[in-house]
Amino acid sequence: MRTTLPEAFPAHTPAVPQIFTIVLSHGPVTRAEIARRAGVSPAAVTKAVRPLIEAGYLVEEAGEDLPPALGRPANALRVDGGRALFIGVKVTGDSAIAVLTDLRCRIRVTRRASLDDRSPDGVLATTGELVTELLVEAEGFGVQVRGIGFAVSGDVVRTDGTVRYSPFLDWRDVPLGERAAAATGLPVTVENDVRALTVAEQWFGAGAGLTDFALVTVGAGIGCGLVVGGRVVSGAHGVAGEIGHLSIDPTGPPCHCGNRGCVEAIASDPAIVREVRARTGIHVADAAEALALARGGDTAARQVYARAGEAIGRAIGSLVNLLGPERVIISGEGLAAHDLFADRIQDAFTVSAFGTAARCEVSTHPLPFEAWARGAAATAIQSFIGSDSRSGGSGWR
Amino acid sequence: MRTTLPEAFPAHTPAVPQIFTIVLSHGPVTRAEIARRAGVSPAAVTKAVRPLIEAGYLVEEAGEDLPPALGRPANALRVDGGRALFIGVKVTGDSAIAVLTDLRCRIRVTRRASLDDRSPDGVLATTGELVTELLVEAEGFGVQVRGIGFAVSGDVVRTDGTVRYSPFLDWRDVPLGERAAAATGLPVTVENDVRALTVAEQWFGAGAGLTDFALVTVGAGIGCGLVVGGRVVSGAHGVAGEIGHLSIDPTGPPCHCGNRGCVEAIASDPAIVREVRARTGIHVADAAEALALARGGDTAARQVYARAGEAIGRAIGSLVNLLGPERVIISGEGLAAHDLFADRIQDAFTVSAFGTAARCEVSTHPLPFEAWARGAAATAIQSFIGSDSRSGGSGWR
DNA sequence: CTTCTTTCATTGACAACAGAAAAGAATGAA
DNA sequence: TTCATTCTTTTCTGTTGTCAATGAAAGAAG
């Protein structure tokens, strides 16, 4: 027996997605504050939030305000995360991870599976099982799952749910969204993995409330999500943020892209492993072993990490010079080596950043691997509340 | 005797600035086409456009359509540039240039003056004279000047018309807009020079109709204006596009910014002069002499230009990898040496650009020096038609 | 203990805007 | 001549959000 489900999201006035997003990312917030942030009248806020409160998506926060305030005390609003569930799926080259989140993108359940068959059929079969399991879990919460998001690395067309090209999966023009929607009967969003993670950070994470920031992910590859003027950058051809192929040193090691000295050819896990082997003569098997060697005090190995940090710092310097963001968030599995290169990143950045750009704050923000799947869920939430159509607006010309 | 002046711009419906901008940058265009581009109904276009036609800002283009069309022939609209005039002023370290343009940003009159006194008072005096002369010229057209734009290099706060810091002028926190408005009684806009030029290109130039492009200016410095998602990028702290301080080579020549191998330390006019002197032993006085030497066949000098081209190309590659624009437009006085480094720019870009980013078209687009002042006028036009408030919109969070 | 001030929230009237649908206009095709 | 097609306009209608006034809930001031 399942409790009654709330109706579709009552986004019947255009300002609703904006207002809801403000409440979502700015915690409990008063109507007056919402009105100021959104640049609309308080009356408009009152009218917009009423249906949301009635539908249960927003609740009034009792008491706990900033006590010493003049005038009538404000009633803060917050999102009741429990009124809707979402599923986010991250697909890598050899595994899939899926999370069940609430409307506030808090992870409730996590499921993983290894991926033997990378073909579209194989991936759909594996992720389909994960999704089914999570849908069963969801029944325990008595709340319906309102959307599924997929995060895939590569060239993804969000608007039509197509994976144009994914090197890791060796996919070309796969209508993932369409197929997954057909299989599950639920709304499906498909987004590039880094952009999905960026959306999650923009709304719920270290980028909350910022209009200009960058998220740099360090690990098997070096990726980057950009938020400029409050909007996630997709580029004219759907590809952007390729910070991994910024060439830092024209005499640096060759990169698989054909250029030399790319950050990815210096600071990605494979590059580090390769370089540690070359410099120490020790055949480390993977990034973990290379890291252990460096932690053990091997000077040559430590130098490899130092060099990686410098490359990342310089690349971030370039990014900051170009875009002038307020913050750069470094994340990814590669942060395991944080202690070995964090200082180098900061130093190289400080040297590279020009003028006021140096005001940009560069910080590391470790994220568990589920965060990638959480990012996928965030895109599903975005779509559910009707925010994606708007924020993707043309900004005309 | 002066003809009757049109009233203030009738932007009484929110869609007017957008629609007017479309007509402005897409030449004669039919209402149906406007509706498609703007994403509004044809009815809305009809209604929005009528007051503009009545006020004389738009006129119906007779006949000359694309002849072989089915159905009722369309009536194209175009902007009547002659119905309003604007003044654009570009201030450099040693001179000021001012242009009188029409509403379509076509230059009608140009005036220059050398700048002996760079203090705010001195600049206001000199530019004030230029503006006065142009206002006199404007009377000959029988049309009122509706706004003045200033373009200044450095950190400029457009919203309040303040020059926060301009190294060339040695200004800090100068309320240029306020003072100029008080002196002239006209609306004044103040914008960073590269961003102003970018606006002009976005509306009237090589970037017309593109949502993602970059304008790279080569000359005494290396600058860059960015348009991402249809909006000019200003960065969180008002500074962006510092492509000149992208470091291309960690072992390159030192730059005044403290880093090494910046594009500006390799490819700016002063850097080229310095390097040509060092390599040839010939004491060339300025960029023109260095250029003459290279054109004369001096191998060492030619290599300096080749290296400059490579640096620019690599920097553009970085930019394109990060932002994925549709086009990069190279301009500036430095293009005088176009024949000496254009190939190198293209080659270096092709090597640096990753994947689909390489689809980006890199083209040179020589602009006369007045173009900088024209950019300033473009910002005045933008402000006049009420487009700046909108396009600078928050895109929330 | 009242009264004032301040801020937040709500209400109802109102104006503006955009969309839908239908009609009209102007052409080529059948 | 009639039809099909496309562009443009008109009228109507519903939605949105602002305005201005009002109420609510506190602290501050006398």
B158 touching A, CB under 8 A?
no
Q: What percent of chain A has pLDDT over 90?
A: 80
Q: Stretch B201-205: mean pLDDT, rounded?
A: 94
Give the count of Cβ contacts less than 8 A between chain A and B.
205
* A197 or A70: which leads in pLDDT: A197
Give the integer Cα–Cα distance in Å for A263 and A311. Answer: 6
Could you tell me the CA-to-CA distances from B172 to B77, B126, B142, B157, B165 in Å, in that order? 45, 19, 38, 12, 4
pLDDT at A136 over 50: yes
| List of A residues 3-62 with CB within 7 A of strand C | 30-33, 42-43, 46-47, 49
Strand D: which nucleotides have any atom within 7 A of a protein Cβ? 4-11, 15-21, 23-28
CA of B69 to C1' of C23 (A): 22
| List of A residues 186-245 with CB within 7 A of strand C | none
The structure tokens listed for B322 are: 């990060």
* B64 or B28: which leads in pLDDT: B28
The string of pLDDT tens digits covering residues A72-118 is 888 899 999 999 999 999 999 899 999 999 999 999 999 999 999 99
pLDDT at B12: 78
CA of A15 to C1' of D15 (A): 12
pLDDT at A268 over 90: yes
B228 touching A, CB under 8 A?
yes
| Conformation bin of residue A241: beta by default, left when phi > 0, alpha when psi is -120 to 50 | left
The structure tokens listed for B334 are: 């430095």
Q: Stretch A353-375: mean pLDDT, rounded?
A: 91
Show which residues sit with Cβ under 7 A of nucleic chain D: A 12-15, 39-41, 43-44, 47-48, 70-73; B 30-33, 42-43, 45-47, 49-50, 69-76
Where along chain B do the CATH 1.10.10.10 domains lie? 16-79
Torsion, Cα A63 A69 A75 A77, to 10 degrees, reads -90
pLDDT-based confidence at A356, cuts 50/70/90?
A: confident
Lowest mean pLDDT among A33-47, B75-89, B305-319, B355-369: B355-369
pLDDT at A3: 42
CB A126 within 8 A of CB A115: yes
Give the integer Cα–Cα distance in Å for A21 and A42. Answer: 16
Q: Provide the CATH number for the domain formed by A84-200+371-391 in this structure.
A: 3.30.420.40
Give the integer Cα–Cα distance in Å for B96 and B33. Answer: 40
pLDDT at A14: 87
What's the CATH number of domain A208-364, 1.10.357.10, 3.30.420.40, 3.40.50.10320, 3.40.50.150?
Answer: 3.30.420.40
Where along chain B do the CATH 3.30.420.40 domains lie? 83-200+371-391, 209-364
Fold assignment, B209-364: Nucleotidyltransferase; domain 5 (3.30.420)
How many other β-carbons are positioned within 10 Å of the β-carbon of residue A78?
A: 16
The second-level CATH assignment, the architecture, of A16-79 is Orthogonal Bundle (1.10)
Give the integer Cα–Cα distance in Å for A323 and A29. Answer: 30
The structure tokens listed for B160 are: 């309040």
pLDDT at A394: 52
- Closest residue to B323, CB basis, from A39, A231, A235: A235
pLDDT at B219 over 60: yes
B10 touching A, CB under 8 A?
no
pLDDT at A10 over 90: no
The answer to whether strand C lies under 7 Å from the CB of residue B70 is yes
Residue nearest the C1' of C24 (CA based): B72
The answer to whether strand C lies under 7 Å from the CB of residue B14 is yes
Q: Stretch A384-391: mean pLDDT, rounded?
A: 74
CB B223 within 8 A of CB B245: no
Q: Stretch A250-262: mean pLDDT, rounded?
A: 90
- Map tokens 């002042």 to a residue: B373
Contact B321 A242 (CB under 8 A): yes
pLDDT at A96: 96
Contact B238 A39 (CB under 8 A): no
Residue nearest the C1' of D23 (CA based): A72
Give the integer Cα–Cα distance in Å for B140 and B136. Answer: 7
pLDDT-based confidence at B314, cuts 50/70/90?
A: very high
- Closest residue to B209, CB basis, from A245, A318, A397: A397
User: Which nucleotide shows the minimum CA-to-C1' distance to residue B16?
Assistant: C17
User: CB-based contacts of A206: which residues, under 8 Å, 6+ apart?
Assistant: A213, A327, A329, A363, A365
User: Which nucleotide shows the minimum CA-to-C1' distance to residue A74?
Assistant: C8
Lowest mean pLDDT among A109-118, A313-322, B32-41, B356-365: B356-365
Lowest mean pLDDT among A79-83, A265-269, A374-378, B25-29: B25-29
CA of A36 to C1' of D26 (A): 22
Contacts of A259 in chain B (CB under 8 A): 351-352, 354
CA of B66 to C1' of D3 (A): 23
- Closest residue to B237, CB basis, from A238, A314, A356: A356
Closest-CA residue of A relative to B214 is A322
Strands B327-331 and B361-364: parallel
Please return the burial class of B45, using the count of CB atoms within 10 Å of its CB with bins 0-12, 13-18 and 19+.
Answer: buried
User: CB-based contacts of B122: which residues, under 8 Å, 6+ apart?
Assistant: B115, B116
The string of pLDDT tens digits covering residues B98-126 is 999 999 999 999 999 999 999 999 999 99
pLDDT-based confidence at B68, cuts 50/70/90?
A: low
pLDDT-based confidence at A2, cuts 50/70/90?
A: very low
pLDDT-based confidence at B2, cuts 50/70/90?
A: very low
pLDDT at B3: 42
pLDDT at A69: 73
DSSP characters over B238-282: S----GGG-BS-TTS-B-TTS-BSBTHHHHSHHHHHHHHHHHH--
Q: In what order do the strands lie in the sheet with A95-102?
A: A107-114, A95-102, A85-91, A145-152, A188-192
pLDDT at A283 over 50: yes
Give the integer Cα–Cα distance in Å for A244 and A271. Answer: 12
- What letter does residue A82 receive in the DSSP assignment? G
Our measurement of the distance from residue B235's CA atom to the centroid of its chain's CA atoms, rounded to an integer in Å, reads 17
- Closest residue to A321, CB basis, from B18, B245, B396: B245
The answer to whether strand C lies under 7 Å from the CB of residue B40 is yes
Contacts of B237 in chain A (CB under 8 A): 324, 326, 356-357, 359-360
Contact B246 A318 (CB under 8 A): yes
Where along chain A do the CATH 3.30.420.40 domains lie? 84-200+371-391, 208-364
The structure tokens listed for B178 are: 């306020």
pLDDT at A66 over 80: no
pLDDT at B160 over 80: yes
Fold assignment, B83-200+371-391: Nucleotidyltransferase; domain 5 (3.30.420)
pLDDT at A67: 61
For chain B, helix (H) and strand (E) counts, in that order, are 13, 16
B172 touching A, CB under 8 A?
no
Torsion, Cα A36 A40 A41 A42, to 10 degrees, reads -60
Mean of the per-residue pLDDT values of chain B: 91
Residue A69 DSSP SS3: coil
Q: Stretch B39-43: mean pLDDT, rounded?
A: 93
